[in-house]
Chain A
Amino acid sequence: MSIRLVRAEVLKLSTRRGLMAASLLLTVVATIAIELILLLLHATDPAKHGIVGGINHFNDGLYSLTQLATIAAVLVGATAGAGDLAAGFFRSLVVTGRPRASLFGARIPGGLLVVLPLTAAAYLVLALFSFVVPGGAATPSTTLLVEAGLWFELYIAVMFLLALGLASLLGSRATTIGILAGLQLLVTPLVQGLHNPGVGAESVLGLALWRLAPTEILGGAPPGHLGESLVAAFVVIGAWMALALGLGAWRTVTRDA
């Protein structure tokens, strides 16, 4: 893996002002804004609006942040996967003689280096706010904060990789965003809400990811009505990653440039 190629990927993504603004808005800015609004509401009418802090507030916030940060991860992943093609830059990279597989491989750490710090910062904000006005409620333990943080970053990394693979396969940022938005915003919540989701529901990536979440935070999000085992969840996530990245790499290597 070439460090210089990874840095080039970071450069290509981080210089996109629109992408970075949207990602920042969906993560750090959105988290700060939501928490400040809740704080203001609580300050003006404590009887009607509950405390801003404590473990339940943290759980609710984490569920919302996961949804928003997933959109940011998909945006960054789709751009990392299809940005060079859309700009016509992929051809210039290929004629350097650098193997296409290494061009694809550099997109993975490059994109993660862009999206994970943003989502980590948003998570940090959320974690800090859970201690602001907890009232009498228990605050999240350090263990929970670490475990939830790691799970959250895993969730985002998986969604980024899914978008990266799909965009590399399709060669289109817009189509990738459309497909994954549908998967994340329609299919996953729909299956989560079903009492008898039926055969095959275990294969929904979002459900498998939520299965890995620390049990303390599951109160903040519906885990669905599946009795999916931990092993099954890992298998589902691994299969999705292998499929998306495998197809993305294959298409990058074989496509006419």
Chain B
Amino acid sequence: MTDVVETAGLTKRFGESTVVSGVDLRVPRGTAFGYLGPNGAGKTTLIRMLLGLIRPSGGTMRLLGRPVPAQRREALARVGAIVDEPRFHGHMTGRQNLWALAAAREPEAHARIDGALERVGLLARADDRVSKYSLGMRQRLGIAACLLADPELLILDEPMNGLDPAGMLEVRELIRSLVEEGRTVVLSSHLLDEVERTCDAIAIVDRGRVVLQGRLDDLRDGSAAVLRVDCSEPARAAVLLRLRADVARVREEEDQLVLELSAGDPRGESAAIAHVVLDAGFELYRLQLDHDSLEERFLELTTRLGAAA
């Protein structure tokens, strides 16, 4: 599988401040890829560099196999992108805005306008002025603008911003349908849950640096196992369980113990812990084995980095 976005050591500095720092990013073709990070992490800056809106301070980039900015025009011919919130001429209709954007693309782009509007559910409102559109409608018009390129790669910056739950579901389904057609969608977001629901692969970015990158399934497999223990006298039980080598950390949470297990056999360790608790005379009400959610992993990574800084 080839990579549609490749960056090496990509860096952007604004004066003394380094907003993007040595980012090595690889986005596999035909995936929904989440570029995940808290606000101010440098997500939009990286996207703006990829699209040639600002110049990088260092590093190299390739889009669809072409070096940018050297072959920027050829690369962007098959890229559709929304940066920040999609903005249009409010005095023009949705269709007129798309017409003006299609004029900057290949001649065939004009023939794609109606199809793009239909696909995002805006055909009935296509001849209304954009100033009358809601933010959700403008987001969908932005995606329609991306489709004018018949894109191999779509780059969507915070596409769920301003959408109600139904709108988020629509956009999520639209992204998945685009991926099923073999297109690649890169979406930046701070909405962890949305990324987890929508994407196949992610990169977590914090303070301009990519701190974790890979397929979601792989990341989940590699995440720490968590055992929730609901027992009598949890404070005393915690003292006992902290002595075990297969328990990395123990914390109390709402009258429960949350144990982070060391790498190994989580199921076997869970059974052993159950025996220990019962043999020590505690009542055991419930035992639940989980993996860290992406959100916990994300928070753990960014918190650790924050503490180290």
Q: Which residues from chain A sit less than 8 Å from chain B, CB to CB?
A: 2, 4-5, 7-8, 11-12, 15-17, 83, 87-89, 91-99, 103, 256-257
Contacts and interface: CB of A to CB of B under 8 A. Distances in A.
Interface in B78-111: 79, 81, 83-84, 86-92, 96-97, 99-105, 107, 110
Interface of B: 48, 51-54, 72-77, 79, 81, 83-84, 86-92, 96-97, 99-105, 107, 110, 145, 149
A95 B73 contact: no
Given A5-B103, A8-B99, A92 B87 contact: yes
A93 B54 contact: no
A128 to B, nearest CB: 33
7 contacts: A87-B90, A89-B100, A94-B51, A96-B149, A97-B72, A97-B74, A257-B48
Contact of B100 (A2, A11, A88, A94): A11
A256 B52 CA distance: 9
Given A11-B92, A15-B92, A83-B89, A93 B73 contact: no
B53 A91 contact: yes
B145 to A, nearest CB: 6
B89 A95 contact: no
Nearest to A19: B91
B75 A93 contact: no
Contacts of B74: 97
- Top 5 A-B pairs ranked by shortest CB distance? A88-B87, A97-B76, A8-B103, A4-B103, A8-B100
Contacts of B51: 94-95
Contacts of A91: 53, 83-84, 87
A234 B123 CA distance: 52
B107 A4 contact: yes
B188 to A, nearest CB: 14
B91 A94 contact: no
Contacts of A5: 103-104
B54 A256 contact: yes
Contacts of A97: 52, 72-77, 79
A256 B53 contact: yes
Contact of A15 (B53, B54, B96): B96
Contact of B104 (A88, A96, A256): A96
A17 B87 CA distance: 20
B100 A103 contact: no
Nearest to A15: B92
Contacts of B81: 95
B296 to A, nearest CB: 35
Contacts of A83: 89
Nearest to A257: B53
A93 B100 CA distance: 9
A38 to B, nearest CB: 36
Contacts of B86: 92
A4 B91 CA distance: 20
By CB atoms of chain A within 10 A, which of B91, B101, B103, B110 has the most? B103
Given A8-B100, A11-B99, A257-B53, A96 B105 contact: yes
Contact of B53 (A12, A87, A94): A94
B35 to A, nearest CB: 16
Contacts of A98: 73, 104-105
B79 A95 contact: yes
A103 B73 CA distance: 13
A257 B73 CA distance: 16
A86 to B, nearest CB: 9
Contacts of B53: 91, 94-95, 256-257
A229 B124 CA distance: 61
B149 A12 contact: no
A95 B49 CA distance: 11
Contacts of B52: 94-95, 97
A12 B104 contact: no
A94 B51 CA distance: 8
A8 to B, nearest CB: 4
Contacts of B87: 87-89, 91-92
B103 A95 contact: no
A89 B76 contact: no
A15 B88 CA distance: 13
Given A92-B101, A96-B149, 9 more contacts: A8-B99, A15-B92, A87-B89, A89-B89, A89-B97, A93-B104, A96-B76, A97-B76, A98-B73
A78 to B, nearest CB: 16
A12 B73 contact: no
Contacts of B103: 2, 4-5, 7-8
